[in-house]
Amino acid sequence: MVKKEILEGKPAKFEDAMKRLEKIVERLEGGDAALDESLALYEEGISLYRQCSSKLEEAKKKVEILTKQGGGKMKAEAFELEAGENE
């Protein structure tokens, strides 16, 4: 299902994409795939990696840090990466 979604350019669920990516890595590391199959798996893996990376970046942007202010009130602040954390 995930492979079909990727080939059709549709975004897959993060967890499904990660599972498929892990299977691709196992297959490629096994070394028994033919060259054409290896290239196709590599291309699919790159596509999945980009999707997962994009979804993780979206999640990071949505995270807010709650800080306690005087009087016990809570304030939401945007989450910011520390220098070097985004590499």
Q: Between 9 and 15, whose confidence is greater? A: 15
| Choice between 33 and 87, residue whose per-residue pLDDT is larger | 33
Q: Which residue has the higher pLDDT, 51 or 11?
A: 51
pLDDT in tens, 10-48: 557 999 999 999 999 999 999 999 999 999 999 999 999
pTM above 0.75, yes or no: no
For the chain, which residues make up each domain, given as ranges?
Answer: 2-78
Query: What is the three-state SS of the chain?
Result: CHHHHHHCCCCCCHHHHHHHHHHHHHHHHHCCCCHHHHHHHHHHHHHHHHHHHHHHHHHHHHCEEEEECHHHCEEEEECCCCCCCCC
